[in-house]
Amino acid sequence: MQGMNSGNYVQMKKSFRDAQRQMRNIRNNAQRHGVTITQSKWETATIAY
């Protein structure tokens, strides 16, 4: 994590979680309309350093 302070890390982690939530919502909404979208590995990924 060279060149990254903890504030940037926290903000990036928050943004990533938000993106995961959006992916889940899109997939669930598509499912309700009869479209199956396979779950991405990024939807369940965790961040650690």
Q: What is the pLDDT of residue 6?
A: 77
Q: ∠ at Cα 21 (19, 23), nearest 5°?
A: 70
Domains of the chain: which residue ranges? Answer: 6-36
What's the rounded Cα separation, in Å, for the pair 21 and 44?
Answer: 10
17 C-beta neighbours (distance < 10 Å), count: 12
Cα distance between residue 46 and residue 49, in whole Å: 10
**Digitized pLDDT (tens) for each residue of the chain, 49 residues in all:** 455 677 888 899 999 999 999 999 999 999 999 999 999 999 999 887 6
Q: Which of 42, 39, 17, 20 is nearest to 30 (CA)?
A: 39
**What is the reported pLDDT for 5?**
76
